[in-house]
Structure 1
Amino acid sequence: MTSSSTACVVHGAGDLRIEDRVPAEPGPGEVAVAVAYGGICGSDLHYYHRGAVGDFTVREPMVLGHEVVGHVAALGPGVTGPAEGDPVAVHPATPCGECRECREGHRNVCARSRYLGSAARTPHVQGGFTRRLVVPAGQVRVLPAGLSLDRAVLAEPLSVALHAVRRAGDVRGKRVLVTGAGPIGCLVVAALRHAGAAEVVVSDLLPQPLKVAELVGATSTVPADRPDDPAWPADADVAIEASGAPAGLATCVARIRRGGTVVLLGLLPTGETGFPGNVVVTREITLTGAFRFDTEFDDALTLLAGGLPVDPVVTHRFPVAEAVAAFDVAGDRAVASKVLIDFTGE
């Protein structure tokens, strides 16, 4: 056991500190993971920049991060596997297992779920950007043979993308519009192509995200602020809104065919969002939400081990000692997609 555990801790808006914490020991049914890499998510950036995600405000120091991988460091009492030293990924959610949603197979929307690095409840759920993380054994997944840790770290955001694509239904042979080419949007592109989508058009305001989208399988891209660009599809079968911007939702509704499906994936600003509801009615457009994921986490690991082309999504890596710089770069969409924090040099 190490004498201290370096962690990335947010104390409020703009206040991110690198702190040494007493390393936790696994209790009954728990596993300690020596974290190797963590991916910075949009929610981490919101906690850093605004001290909140939606209505969830940081009220106490909180370790950030929920996209983490590493090696098993220790097993708690009663845990028989995985073995110490095994490379693993950590599923960040702990649903209650008892509510109606859990019983009916919708554990991703469990109201009592605990999610790593979340201020949704107090005390907050401490996150995974720490050198030593303790979680229930059921959240730990041994990596498939041949899957490297720095590739496996994409399992969590890829799971989000896979769930969104599944919410869209069968996309084989279809034309799909994706609004927003951030890390999640680009992983949605890869998931769509794997699922058999024939055409994937991606929009974004910035050229760098669109380049990443092309590298992971977009058949065409279009600047979001050029409504007359001929690359826009006029009759997409499916649209997935991954930007979290009201304009992105309006674009999806406007460019979907009659009877098509729009999946809302990006979290929109709090409060009411206006959109052309009459178009939804008269064209019988299906609107559906996609929130987090459940069993898709295991599917994501399998796809990553099988070579799903997503490596261009990772654009930067920083040692944990430079975590503040990592967050600053991750917040600059003009240059960065997924930014990793590296704990291996500690």
Structure 2
Amino acid sequence: MNENGNWCLIESDPGVFTELITNMGVKGVQAEEIYSLDYDFSSLEHIYGIVFLFKWENGQDSSQPEVSPTDNFQGQDILFINQIVQNACATQALLSILLNSNDLVLGDDLDNFKDFIVHLDPYSRGLALTNSESIRRVHNSFATQQLIVNDNPNDSKNDQNEDLFHFVAYIPSNGGTYKLDGLSQGPVRVHDPKNSGKSRLGWINDAIYDIKKKISSIGDGSDIRFNLMAITKDCRIRYSSRLEQIELDLKNLQVQLEQLSINNENDSSRNLADSIHDNISKLIEEKLVIESKIDNQNRKLQNYSIENARRKHNFVPMIILLIEELARKNLLQQAIDNAKK
């Protein structure tokens, strides 16, 4: 096993994370990209956790929690996994959310994995994750195809000059907000002093407070290379439920209209009929809006699927054939010169 344990780098993208979730066997959950720290999280469905990607600086010691866990916090209440290999942090952050969400149907693979590691210590859990063939296979399905592989170990020093990025997760638990960083010793409780905690999304305010602190501590605080995603319930679940209720309400209103048609000569009957027609119109309008939202969500997921297929496809043979064909027709040097211009 190499130093990265044969785990590939993962792109921080909602389409990638949504497919990772689905391919792990979890249904009805998606990743939603957050474009601003002032985002209105109330517009999302139930939020299970937040994934935060940030630049990891050389010399930074993530093994020591920035804020020590509270004395009365029992570590076994949260399933925490130590990170053993470098490139597993994306899937590890995702699992930190999924495995600590009690109202999710995880599927057989993750259920079995959770049952296996729940009584292990964090380091042993990390070893179990590193050696989980099923989880690693889903993770590595997004491995980037390399055009050139450098077999010279002396050139590995160049990698030290590249920026490193790290994923961590934030979850609500036991009335508090916890950061789960596999490079730390355990779950870290975070809290915004200005957050009363009374809001349904109060834990998110705590998480955003801690994320802002982290961003401001990177370099001079002007580095904008970070990414934020919310792991949420698939919005189509609520939309579909509402559509079923609308259909039922429309049927009931139609029955009422048919009953009124027997005696529709008096004013009260006509007024009631007008009211029913108004309600039917409003429900039909709402139905069209919801169907449009479902269509938009389906198109977004379809675009995710197309983008992911392109990420996974090996374009190297096509590129090599193209170069060979250009060279055969003596057009390669011209193409290179045009590219330089």
Q: Normalising by structure 1, report the TM-score.
A: 0.22
Higher relative contact order (CA 8 A, sep 6+): 2
